[in-house]
Structure 1
Amino acid sequence: MLKLTGTAGAAVAAAGTLGTARASAAERTWRVTGEDVAPLAHFDDVMKDYMQARGITAGSLAVARNGKLSLARGYTWGDESVATTGETDVFRIASLSKPVAATAAMRLAQEGELDLDAPLADLIDLSPLPGGTADPRLGEVTVRRALQHLGGWDRDLSGDPLWSTIAISREMGVDLPLGEEEVVSYVSGAALDHAPGTTYAYSNYGYLLVSRAIAAVTGTSFEDYVVSDILGAVDIARMRAGRSLARDQAGEVRYNSRYTSTSAVDMSGAQVPYPYGGFNLEIQLGNGGWVASAADIARFCTVYDTPEAAGVLTPASVDTVFAAPEAGGGATHYGLGWSVRPTADGENTWHTGSMPGTYTFLARSNGHTVVALFNQRKEGDDLNWGEIDPRLWGAVNEVGTWPTEDLTPIYF
């Protein structure tokens, strides 16, 4: 069993530029789409400053208050060769997918169809490859522990299998692209890095297993269940499972990265742009594979902002999602798919996401929800990409009188 490489250790080569995205600043112009909302005009300044400093060509922003959509904007910073970003264009949302998976699991638990404390091994096949031996502690990995990153897998110690499919395929002697079953049987033959329930260690793989458990108990695919019972319940129709290759990405923004990688979706051995075949997005739906607009994510958050109206989770279930875990808890902790921090006004809950060509941010606090999506992530620069958080909340606090119009009917 080899030690897997994570995202940072993947074999990539510098491509030198971001193609047409690297037009000089002098050639670029701003294009902004979406309804102008005068009291919130300063949000445009935040997004433009942030994107321009980093050379980001496409961004999407949504701001909601008490479940009502107040602002939905698309931003383009590029020359004429860069397509204009519509306010409903979809982006890969990366790990903003985790609150979606957790919501689906909590919904099933609420309906009595899934026990959050059931061992995953009782719900799905975790048999190792022939001749392999499973860690006996694997039976202690519950749905709840996987959602709270307490399953025992630690990518800093043994790597992230979802980002190491080329290496796994070589050791298994099977062709790319790998399917979920092959990844699971491979990892099931490896020792856990920690005893389940004892150590917080962020694990994309745990979310893959939860998505498979959801499929098992519902008798349908994970994607179909989320679309019908979570997204459909709040009228989200654009959000869908992402795909690795550009030919399968209608209505999606173009992703920028300076790196290339060996193809992870076929056996060609070709060097491809890292966001386009350098990793297998199809097996990452549970942890990071959805595509959506910022407005879609803000709409999804009505499940938590106005639970009675949304009708997906009860207030008691929402409390369970944000509750402290058995380990790695404290005032600030990771619940079921959300980071949670107490504030003077209640709770601040958030998540970020990052993969080649994508950086995403989602946060909720005191009735306000802000979502920002970008078609590029930090790569070799010394800028603080996390500053989008305080800058957007600064913009929230600058609003004098919030608009009363709800833009939801325009987009949903």
Structure 2
Amino acid sequence: MKINIGITFLAFLTTFNLGAQPVQTSQHIAVDQQIIKFMKLWNITGGAVAITKDGKTIYNKGFGYSDQNKTKKAKADDLYRIASVSKPITSIGIMKLLENGQLSLTDKVFGKGNILDQPYYLQVITDHRIYDITIQHLLEHTGGWDRNVPYGDYSHSDPAFFPLLVTSTLSEPNPVGDSTLIKFMLKKGLDNNPGANYSYSNVGYLVLGKVIEKITGMKYAAYIEKAVLKPAGIINIQLGKNLLASRHIRETEYSSTSTTLSCYGDGTRVPWQYGGFNIEAMNAHGGWIASASDLTKLLLSVDGLATSPDILNGTTIKAMTAPGNVNKGYAKGWCVNSKNTWWHTGSMDGTSSFVCRTTDGYTWAFLFNSRGTNSDTFWQEFDRLPWNCLKTMSTAVA
């Protein structure tokens, strides 16, 4: 069964050389052609794709170029920003705390005697509904914030994408920090009662990152490395940096035509993907970089199947992937369906990502260093791409 996001698949275009690595089988060549065609259609410079079946890698390749001047061929192990594919990573970290008895889904987050009781947060709260927000609400995007509600001159209310307004409103330094983004939304108040409505919330996952820090006494990234990545045998997933000059030596370059004022507050205009937003403050909701193969390794570590060892027990995995109380299509850091397939996508200027685990033993990670300008059509096509690649490999897909 395909993920239903209203999909239409285009016929094959003439293939072209984007620097795909050599392959050994006709099925793999056909998969190469589909990926290359998609990249050409959406003017994507580079990408990486990894696919596993029953715990074994059956496809792992880089496509195109890792630099915007098209001088360096992309490699399979290049690192990419993964945007909201970071949310499953945070969810796994939270679920590990639940499994260890350090946290429960019903624990309240804000207020005296609750998890985040620091004056820095509490001093700005005037909407007392905030004190009812629980861990489960944050995991399932039912905390009460609705980013589709306009704020000021903006058509949305996601503070990660108007960082200068956040810092000026709160008289905080630039670039904006993760705690400042949370403080801004606490001061703003809620749009709905906690638990009443589903509304995808980046700030909710930032809060979960702070919950991890408070419970463990560790920095968010250090805890994730210790509790999630190392047990899964992963060493290369790490938090990304804002600027082109600061990127990891194996990290791709990102492409976008949009510019904005720098989040550093110096008045310069910059590409959105390099200093327009502060990705270093997006850590727990969208800040990680990874290779495609490391992401499939992460999926295998929590897939609940017998073909590979898991870092969470079966009960915890079932709780993590159980349909949410409000939106049955979203669990706790994962989109889910009735076929027991789990997935997540990620999107920001210069980035598009898609990971999935199917009930019949497939995992995949598709990572690209740009995204299409026609958002709806692009994501419809992107959603279709992995499934058609599997069909091309003559495999039965649930």
Q: TM-score range by the shorter chain?
A: 0.7 to 0.9
The equivalent position to 2:271 in structure 1, one of 266, 273, 276, is 273
| 1:290 aligned residue | 288
| 2:236 aligned residue | 238
| 1:141 aligned onto 2:136 | no
Counterpart of 1:73, as a letter, is K
Any idea what SS the aligned residue of 1:277 has? helix
The equivalent position to 1:68 in structure 2, one of 21, 43, 56, is 56
Gap change, CA 1:131 and 1:340, over 3 Å in 2: closer
Deviates more, 1:97-106 or 1:118-127: 118-127
Identical-residue share of aligned pairs (%): 29
Return the offset for 1:33: 3.3
Gap change, CA 1:211 and 1:307, over 3 Å in 2: farther
| 2:145 aligned residue | 153
Gap change, CA 1:46 and 1:252, over 3 Å in 2: same
Alpha carbons 2:106, 2:136 under 8 Å: kept: yes
The equivalent position to 1:120 in structure 2, one of 109, 124, 129, is 109
Counterpart of 1:144, as a letter, is Q
Partner Cα distance (1:377, 1:371) in 2:
15
Partner Cα distance (1:113, 1:148) in 2:
19
Alpha carbons 2:31, 2:393 under 8 Å: kept: no
| 1:351 aligned residue | 344
Mapping 1:184-199, distance limit 5 Å: 184-199=182-197
| 2:353 aligned residue | 360
Gap change, CA 1:307 and 1:216, over 3 Å in 2: farther
Mapping 1:3-402, distance limit 5 Å: 29-33=17-21, 36=24, 39-76=27-64, 81-121=70-110, 122-125=114-117, 127=119, 132-157=124-149, 158=151, 159-250=157-248, 251-264=250-263, 266-306=264-304, 309-329=308-328, 333-343=329-339, 347-365=340-358, 366-379=360-373, 383-400=377-394
Return the offset for 1:184: 2.3
Gap change, CA 1:326 and 1:305, over 3 Å in 2: closer
Gap change, CA 1:363 and 1:399, over 3 Å in 2: same
Provide TM-score, normalisation by structure 2.
Answer: 0.87
Gap change, CA 1:85 and 1:336, over 3 Å in 2: same
Alpha carbons 2:45, 2:68 under 8 Å: kept: no
Structure with the largest fraction of strand: 1
Partner Cα distance (1:305, 1:90) in 2:
23
Task: Provide Cα deviations, 1:64-122, integer angstroms capped at 9, x if missing partner.
Answer: 11222211100016997432111000000001001110011001100111212111111
Task: Provide Cα deviations, 1:158-202, integer angstroms capped at 9, x if missing partner.
Answer: 501222211111222332112222222222222200000010000
Return the offset for 1:219: 1.0
Any idea what SS the aligned residue of 1:71 has? strand
Alpha carbons 2:49, 2:62 under 8 Å: kept: yes
Gap change, CA 1:130 and 1:150, over 3 Å in 2: closer
Counterpart of 2:367, as a letter, is L
Partner Cα distance (2:79, 2:310) in 1:
25
Q: How many residues align?
A: 369
Return the offset for 1:211: 0.7
Return the offset for 1:379: 2.2
Give RMSD over aligned pairs.
2.3
Return the offset for 1:43: 1.7
Counterpart of 2:286, as a letter, is G
Any idea what SS the aligned residue of 2:356 has? strand
Counterpart of 2:145, as a letter, is W
Task: Provide Cα deviations, 1:203-226, integer angstroms capped at 9, x if missing partner.
Answer: 000000001101111110110111
Partner Cα distance (1:117, 1:321) in 2:
14
Counterpart of 2:91, as a letter, is A
Partner Cα distance (1:211, 1:236) in 2:
20
Return the offset for 1:144: 1.2
Return the offset for 1:134: 2.7
Partner Cα distance (1:192, 1:80) in 2:
45
Any idea what SS the aligned residue of 2:341 has? strand
Counterpart of 2:39, as a letter, is M
Counterpart of 1:299, as a letter, is K
Provide TM-score, normalisation by structure 1.
Answer: 0.84
Return the offset for 1:304: 2.4
Partner Cα distance (1:68, 1:130) in 2:
48
Gap change, CA 1:193 and 1:43, over 3 Å in 2: same
Gap change, CA 1:80 and 1:105, over 3 Å in 2: closer
Partner Cα distance (1:99, 1:33) in 2:
29
Any idea what SS the aligned residue of 1:312 has? coil
Return the offset for 1:369: 1.2
Deviates more, 1:289-298 or 1:124-133: 124-133
Q: Give unmatched runs, 5+ long, in structure 1.
A: 1-27, 403-412
| 2:10 aligned residue | none
Alpha carbons 2:209, 2:220 under 8 Å: kept: yes
